[in-house]
Each structure stands twice: as C-alpha cells, then as structure tokens.
Amino acid sequence: MGKEKILIVDDEEAIRLGIREFAEFEGYQVAEARDGIEAVRICGQEDFDLIIMDIMMPKIDGFTAYKEIKKKKDIPVLMLSARGEEYDKLYGFELGIDDYVVKPFSLKELMARVKAVIRRRSGASPRRERTILEYEGLWMDITGRKVYIDEERITMTPKEYDLLFFLAEHEDIVFSREELLEKIWGFDFCGDGRTVDSHIKMLRRSLGEYRKFIVTHRGVGYKFEAE
C-alpha cells in the first residue's frame, strides 16, 4: 500500500479533512475537490484508483459528476449520502458505482470499504478458457462479458454481470445472500443482504422475460434454474 491515489469530493471541508487525514494515515495519496464540477475537471487531468464522492453537492450532484467522469475514465467510486433510501442506492448501482455509504459513518468502516473496492478492482484476473452459455434466447459470453437477449446485446452494471455469470455457471445451486456477498463482493465487504436483493432486482429487470431463470428460494437465497 501507499501508492493508491484517492480523490475526495465533498462540499463540506470538515468531511474532506477528516477523510484525508485518515486516508493519508493509511498510506494513500489524496486529492480533494469541493464540488462535482471540480471533480470532473481534476479527473480529466489526473488518474485515480478510487473516488469518494458525496451525492448532494452544489452546482452538480455526485451522480451527475460520476456520469461525466465515466464517459472518459473507468474509476471506481464510493458514494457518500445523508440519505439511505433504497431508490438512491438502486440508482447509484445502476450507474455502476462500487459501494455506497450513508452519513454519518465511521472513518474506520469507510477505509475498510475503500480497501475492499480497490482490492476487487485490482485483483481481477482474466479467464483462461472461453465460456459460452445459452438458454433459449439468453446467450452469455462469460469470457468476453457479453450478454445477448434474442440476438440483441444488452448492457448491464458490472455487478449484474458478475451475479448472472456466477449463478449461471453454478446452475441449480442455491446460494445464500451471505455466500453471494462473499463470492461477488468479497469476504470483507461491509454491506448486507439488501445489497444482493437490490442487484438481483436490477438483474431481473435487465433480463426481461428471461428473469424467470433467476429463482428465489424464500428464506434461503437465489439460484439460476433453466426450465
């Protein structure tokens, strides 16, 4: 550690300072932005391993800033918000954010999440063998991370791809929410079962009529089941 670079984006100076001091103590390089516009500008000039960004900011909000940054660079982002409604989380995950922390939060927990996100992004390794799966009109190129529905390619968030591919490769095996958190998000992810439920809901929406393959076992978890 010590070389990862983080951008902290928040209009409250006290919050930026608190996160900065803790992050630098943990060995990260840190830059700051006071609002979304400044964040977009800085990301156009520099590269970062992670962005910690508040949602509610003047000028442009965090979601809008992230969408602008994402047009040019693929930087993982951890969103901060004073609100914890499911809609905010779902919208953020649909955009492709990696994690979501509700204020007030402990700096220790925040850094644990930062480490987990960076580790997941940097530790991914390509598959050695090409894997193609097909169920009716649902076609998956797991190696190339492509999904087609009735010959039309669809786009999903990174975690939707991860969930679909993992469940499909382990057809007819029921996985609990805790197991999916460990397999998809990493053993040290600080979320809970609702994170899995939210992403399953998004995945089913993306799959349309083929949502039927994602089966819920009430009180247990989820599995991929082809008819």
Per-block mean pLDDT, blocks of 10 residues, the chain (227 long): 82 93 92 94 92 90 92 89 70 83 85 85 54 90 88 90 92 91 72 82 94 93 90
What pLDDT was estimated at residue 139?
92
Cβ atoms within 10 Å of 10's Cβ, excluding its own: 25
**b/e burial code for range 64-91 (CB count within 10 A of at least 16 → b):** bbbebbeeeeebbbbbbbeeeeeebbbe
Q: Using CB atoms within 10 Å of the CB of residue 189, give its burial: 0 to 12 exposed, 13 to 18 middle, 19+ buried.
A: middle
H or E element at residue 64: helix 62-70
What is d(CA 68, CA 149) in angstroms, rounded to the nearest whole number? Answer: 28
Nearest C-alpha neighbor of 181 from the set 165, 170, 197: 197
Q: At what angle do helices 36-45 and 62-70 cross, to 10 degrees?
A: 20
What pLDDT was estimated at residue 2?
46
Domain with CATH 1.10.10.10 in the chain: 132-224
Pairing of strands 175-176, 214-217: unpaired
What pLDDT was estimated at residue 126?
43
Residues pairing with 100 in the sheet? 79
Domain with CATH 3.40.50.2300 in the chain: 5-123
What pLDDT was estimated at residue 119?
80
- pTM value? 0.59
CATH T-level topology, domain 5-123: Rossmann fold (3.40.50)
What pLDDT was estimated at residue 200?
94
Query: How many Å separate Cα 79 from the centre of its chain?
Result: 10
What pLDDT was estimated at residue 81?
82
| Calculated CA dihedral for residues 43, 44, 45, 46, nearest 10 degrees | 40
As its CATH architecture, domain 132-224 has Orthogonal Bundle (1.10)
